């Protein structure tokens, strides 16, 4: 199942400078997936101006993966199903650290974006990533390298402002597997 686009919720919600209640269509979507509510996104744009908007609801955790927005640090759990991760759940603390992944998306002073991912599993973790650059209304595939096992952290960087990073198709590799980065 492809991810629910933030645009489907944006068109269903009132966009304003102040947090508002999600509209009926957004409430219906958020009854089926986990949403982030009253999320304020502030980004330095390429031209030096500031993008500063609050959103009543944006999709966060869905059956196929997880969305991370600028300024967010999130924790989510996943279950192993063979070599794949499934049943993603947003959590507020790492009560089950052996299956809690952390993700943080931040903008640097020069406008570049950094995604930090921590892998709690005992096996390396390739993740399919897509990004929604600020000002573009669709997800674009982007390259990513596997996150090393046993609580290690990986960093991915992009030279431009990004509205959303989509993380999906999580799978676990054996130590002898190819560790090539992919797009």
| Strand ranges for the chain from DSSP E | 34-44, 50-62, 65-68, 73-81, 84-91, 100-107, 113-118, 128-133, 140-142, 153-158, 162-168
Please provide residue 97's backbone torsions phi and psi, each rounded to the nearest 5 degrees. Answer: -60, -25
Q: Is residue 176 part of a domain?
A: no
**pLDDT for 23:** 83
Q: Is residue 84 part of a domain?
A: yes
- Quote the percentage of the chain above a pLDDT of 70: 89
The count of domains in the chain is: 1
Q: Is residue 23 part of a domain?
A: yes
Residue range 5-11: mean pLDDT, rounded:
50
Please provide residue 6's backbone torsions phi and psi, each rounded to the nearest 5 degrees. Answer: -60, -30
Q: Where does the pLDDT of residue 67 fall: very low under 50, low under 70, confident under 90, or very high at 90 and above? A: very high
Q: Where does the pLDDT of residue 5 fall: very low under 50, low under 70, confident under 90, or very high at 90 and above? A: low
pTM surpassing 0.85?
yes
Q: Is residue 183 part of a domain?
A: no
Range of the domain at 162: 6-168
Q: Is residue 58 part of a domain?
A: yes
């Amino acid at each position: 199942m492809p991810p629910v686009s933030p645009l489907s919720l944006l068109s269903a919600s009132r966009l304003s400078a102040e947090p508002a209640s999600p509209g009926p269509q957004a409430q219906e979507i958020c009854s089926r997936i986990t949403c982030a509510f009253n999320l304020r996104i502030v980004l330095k744009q390429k031209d030096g101006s500031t993008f500063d908007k609050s959103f009543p609801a944006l999709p966060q955790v869905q059956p196929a993966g997880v969305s991370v927005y600028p300024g967010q640090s999130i924790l989510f759990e996943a279950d192993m199903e063979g070599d794949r991760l499934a049943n993603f759940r947003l959590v507020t603390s790492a009560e089950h650290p052996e299956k809690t992944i952390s993700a943080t998306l931040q903008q640097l002073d020069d406008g570049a974006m950094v995604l930090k991912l921590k892998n709690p599993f005992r096996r390396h973790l390739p993740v399919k990533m897509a990004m929604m650059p600020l000002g573009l209304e669709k997800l674009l595939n982007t390259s990513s390298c596997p996150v090393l096992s046993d609580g290690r952290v990986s960093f991915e960087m992009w030279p431009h402002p990004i509205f959303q990073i989509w993380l999906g198709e999580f799978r676990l590799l054996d130590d002898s597997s190819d560790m090539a980065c992919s797009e």
